[in-house]
Amino acid sequence: MNRRSIPPFARRQAESRKRSPGAFLSVVLLVGVLCVSACDTGNVGGPGEPSEARAVLADSLPRVFAERDAEAYERLLHPDYRFAFVAGDAPTDLPGSFWGKKTESAVIDSLFSRAEIHVLEFDLAIFDEAFTLIPGTGGARDYRAAAILGAAIIRQDTADGSSDTVIVPVIETYHLRVDSADGSWKIYDEIEEGPAGKTAGWSAETSRWGALKAAFYAPLPLPAERTVKGIVRLDDEAGTPLEGATVEAGAETSITDAYGAFAISGVPSSVTSLRASHASTLPVVVPIGGGDDVFRVDIALTALMLHETPGAMIERDFSAAYSTRDSLRYAFLLDSRYRFTPVPDDIDPEDPFEYWTLDEELAIAGRMFAGRANPRGQSVNRIKLVLDVKSSVVDDTSDPERPPGEIWHKTTTFVDLLVTVDDPRDPEGIMHYVVLSDQVFVTRPDPARADRHLVVRQEDRHPINRMPKDFARGTESSTWGSIKMLWR
């Protein structure tokens, strides 16, 4: 690295450490430059005003780094604190791109306690700030501050005297809120905004703050129980909070308030996911875990399109569920009476059957979507499904399972399906199954929602445009049913 690219004080510290025998590693953390812009924050002199919140970042935070006081640092964090990583920087064993107070405290304690770190300096500069009311809290406020963060890390090798330098150029956004336990401002959110840099930690020429923290991370023991809380929003441009959504964690359930907030306490560590749903949206499952006592997560739900035709539902929702390999969303589209009928040529004479039912269909889809290997050793790598509606009419065929007076619809679509699998038997290690055929879907009204439709029957058809055998190496024309039966 060019000597001029190292911040002056970091260069001076590096040179002073070179003169110190036995030095293994010098780390200098420089956070910020003095760059504060004016903003309208109202009265800044009274209790609870921005001046007190700002002092946490401008005074208290640099002081605990200078003193390497891990306990004091922990006291600056709100009980619901969360550090949000830039995508790809979080340790892979975390269920999301963030961690909570307990993990953050352990990481900083590891940083402070490393004997080989001889120099540690920290400065923080705020260049934008805002002070707003938190909806639904009866007047509680949120202090947001954006800061320039720059870190210089210098590692010195005692064997040959060489040193490596890492520069961290990022922007951090902090949210502070008052802790009701002691009435003091504490760091509630820390969000890394960028700009992007390499993320190889110690070995990279440039890195990010989160990637540096991750170098000191070690998984914590799972708590016996944890509190799970957060906000459920619509997946729209405004991120609208969703009232009345149901959030389930194991046997525990919470209903979101008018501001989309929920909280569930006493969730056993054996519970590894949340299920969130609302009458107007598709449900979603969110993983939870890690060693934090408080797991705070934001959940986005996709709104259902109401009063749509059966064909529109099949074109959009069925295609999306299959292409994204979303088992929960797929199951949400199928009726309890669902049956899949393959073409006769796909039926094994030694195992004759006319159709399979919902339980078997979900088991097949679950294996495919999760990438589980079938008896041939094949596992699904990618699915792309496009359904194009050709016709949709009232189904006038007789079906003993149709409730009296209920109207079913028959929708014929053209299927353009590509299933790419990892195949150890193929010389290239990969196989592409292509389906170009018609498909018949029979739908019925959703008993829970008259403006929704569920697939109750699906009938496979022979390919319309079967590709020649020599069309492409590793590509095979197929029916939809024959692909499914590879995982049956």
In a domain, 46, yes or no: yes
CATH number reported for the structural domain that contains residue 449 in this entry? 3.10.450.50
Same domain, 133 and 8: yes
What per-residue confidence (pLDDT) applies to 24? 31
User: How many Å apart are CA 363 and CA 347, to the nearest integer?
Assistant: 18
Same domain, 188 and 234: no
Segments forming the whole domain that contains residue 331: 310-485
What per-residue confidence (pLDDT) applies to 35? 35
In a domain, 220, yes or no: no
Same domain, 120 and 243: no
What per-residue confidence (pLDDT) applies to 25? 35
My answer on whether omega of the bond before 352 falls inside 30° of 0, hence cis, is no
Same domain, 72 and 132: yes
In a domain, 50, yes or no: yes
In a domain, 219, yes or no: no
Q: With 60 as the cut, is the pLDDT of residue 435 above it?
A: yes
pLDDT digits (tens, 9 = 90+) for 345-396: 888 777 777 899 999 999 999 999 999 999 989 999 999 999 999 998 988 8
Of the chain, the percentage scoring pLDDT greater than 70 comes to 80
Q: Does 360 or 470 have the greater pLDDT score?
A: 360
Name the token pair of 154: 């210098």
Q: With 70 as the cut, is the pLDDT of residue 37 above it?
A: no
Residue type, 254: S
What per-residue confidence (pLDDT) applies to 148? 79
User: How many Å apart are CA 173 and CA 147, to the nearest integer?
Assistant: 6
Q: With 50 as the cut, is the pLDDT of residue 342 above it?
A: yes
Q: Which of 388, 397, 480 is nearest to 442 (CA)?
A: 397
In a domain, 345, yes or no: yes
Same domain, 323 and 281: no
Same domain, 124 and 88: yes
Q: With 90 as the cut, is the pLDDT of residue 228 above it?
A: yes
Q: What is the mean pLDDT of residues 151-172?
A: 64
pLDDT digits (tens, 9 = 90+) for 233-266: 998 888 899 999 999 999 999 999 999 999 999 9
Q: With 50 as the cut, is the pLDDT of residue 329 above it?
A: yes
What per-residue confidence (pLDDT) applies to 319? 92
Long-range residue pairs from 337-341, CB within 8 A, at least 24 positions apart, any chain:
337/401, 337/444, 337/456, 338/454, 338/455, 338/456, 338/457, 338/458, 339/456, 339/457, 339/458, 340/458, 340/459, 340/460, 340/481, 340/484, 341/457, 341/458, 341/459, 341/460
What per-residue confidence (pLDDT) applies to 473? 64
What per-residue confidence (pLDDT) applies to 165? 62
Same domain, 236 and 199: no
User: How many Å apart are CA 343 and CA 354, to the nearest integer?
Assistant: 9
Q: How many domains does the chain have?
A: 3
In a domain, 40, yes or no: yes
The dihedral region occupied by 22, where left means phi > 0, alpha psi between -120 and 50, and beta the remainder, is: left
For residue 192, list its beta bridge partners: 172
Q: Sorting pLDDT into bands at 50, 70 and 90, what band is 159?
A: low
Contacts of 390 (CB under 8 A, 6+ apart): 412, 413, 414, 438
Same domain, 230 and 188: no
Q: With 90 as the cut, is the pLDDT of residue 310 above it?
A: no
Q: With 70 as the cut, is the pLDDT of residue 33 above it?
A: no
Same domain, 164 and 141: yes
User: How many Å apart are CA 89 and CA 110, to the nearest integer?
Assistant: 18
Q: Which of 130, 128, 125, 113 is nearest to 149 (CA)?
A: 125
In a domain, 93, yes or no: yes
CATH number reported for the structural domain that contains residue 232 in this entry? 2.60.40.1120
Q: What is the mean pLDDT of residues 197-202?
A: 44
Cα-Cα-Cα-Cα torsion 94, 100, 105, 108, nearest 10 degrees, comes to 60
Q: What is the largest CA-CA distance in the chain?
A: 92
Same domain, 256 and 324: no
Of the chain, the percentage scoring pLDDT greater than 90 comes to 50
Same domain, 321 and 390: yes
Q: Sorting pLDDT into bands at 50, 70 and 90, what band is 465?
A: low
What per-residue confidence (pLDDT) applies to 118? 67
In a domain, 250, yes or no: yes
Q: Sorting pLDDT into bands at 50, 70 and 90, what band is 343?
A: very high
Q: With 90 as the cut, is the pLDDT of residue 153 above it?
A: no
Query: Is 299 within 8 Å of 285 (Cβ atoms)?
Result: no
pLDDT digits (tens, 9 = 90+) for 117-130: 766 777 778 889 99
What per-residue confidence (pLDDT) applies to 11? 42
What per-residue confidence (pLDDT) applies to 170? 78
Residue pointed to by tokens 């007789």: 398
Same domain, 379 and 269: no
Query: Is 122 within 8 Å of 24 (Cβ atoms)?
Result: no
Q: Which of 81, 84, 107 is nearest to 97 (CA)?
A: 84
